[in-house]
Amino acid sequence: MKRAISFLLIPVFLLLSGCGVQQAQEQFFTMDTVMSVTVYGKGAEETASAARQVVETLNGVLSRTDGNSLISQLNAHAGDGTAVELDGDTLELLTFAQRMARLLPGDFDITIAPVMDAWGFTGEERHVPEEETLAQALALVDSEKLLLDEAAGTARLEEAGMAVDLGSIAKGYAAARAEEVLREAGITSALLDLGRNITLIGSKPDGTSWRVGIADPQDDSQSLCVLSLEDQTASTSGGYERWFEEDGVRYHHIIDPKTGYPASSGLLSVTVISPDHLLADALSTALFVAGPETAMELWRSRTDFELVLCTDQGQLLVTEGLEAGFEFRGEEQGYGYQIVRR
């Protein structure tokens, strides 16, 4: 594994053959996943490197496993009354996370960290927790006890043992910041792959749309469909990403904040497509927990995202805004699909 990661850390610079457009690609490992930044245009090498640096820097700021991060400091002072001073990135993320928790109460909560730890998903020793252990951890999950003072730029956790985990939104935020760097440098064609969070800047250099495959959650080497997209982020969450098996039962890492157990909502995966990176990242997790009915109800109430839901009944539910660029490929795997309309 170490040898593979070392290879992935080597930047790869290529020339797009045939049309003379500069291309640069950086591959790297951060936020516990393999990422890549592919940039086309003048100054591609420098801007790809700058975008990577932004993502890696944010990992150091937002990771709760990095003892020097502001999130680690916030967690370390839980319950002792200390208001931790935050930088703009961290305060913005915590504020957004609270809005999401209020939008989908019980389906999204960044104070889920104690429950994640009880299951061992933070480290390598994964196991089904004892009921008492899980109940104690679940009692600490409450975003309303994350107290933010936006004017002062501080935050504190009200109860000892509480902890914040930004894993459900950090990649979306990193994508937004990386895109800012690219846009400011004049880049109009790029692809950011931040671990099942795909951000598409403009179109491909030849003027055609990017084509993004949605994986079969039961065999992620196969695609269920392909979407044609421009200037969007596509974020996918599914129970097939991180899991373990105990006594013949499979347990995945997307925890339902209401129960403390892996979410079981009738969905195998959720893909959210939106120009809002943070919204796409957060909703893919929250709606996987919430289930298809809540997902479609929220979609019908808004106009800033589209959905591809894969149900445990073998159906793809695709919202109408994606229909024109949708290509179904799941028939051989036994799936069907439905275009959902408002």
The residue extents of the domains of the chain are: 1-62+169-195, 65-157, 209-342
Q: Which 8-state DSSP code applies to residue 330?
A: -
β-bridge pairing 154-157 and 84-85? antiparallel
pLDDT at position 1? 27
pLDDT at position 13? 34
pLDDT at position 6? 26
Distance from C-alpha of 72 to C-alpha of 60, rounded to nearest angstrom: 10
Helices of type H across 19-156: 44-62, 70-76, 88-103, 113-119, 131-138
Task: Give the pair of three-digit tokens for residue 271.
Answer: 């893909």
Q: Provide the residue count of the chain.
A: 342
Task: Give the pair of three-digit tokens for residue 119.
Answer: 């299951």
pLDDT at position 124? 75
Distance from C-alpha of 167 to C-alpha of 260, rounded to nearest angstrom: 17
pLDDT at position 15? 38
Domain 65-157: which CATH number of 1.10.3980.10, 2.60.40.1120, 3.30.70.1560, 3.30.465.10: 1.10.3980.10
Looking at the domain 209-342, which fold is it?
A: T-fold (3.10.520)
Which stretches in the chain have pLDDT values below 50? 1-18
pLDDT at position 20? 65
Distance from C-alpha of 146 to C-alpha of 142, rounded to nearest angstrom: 7
Angle at which helix 277-290 crosses helix 170-184, to 10 degrees, equals: 160
pTM of the predicted model as reported, rounded to 2 decimal places: 0.91
Q: Which residues pair with 151 in a beta bridge?
A: none
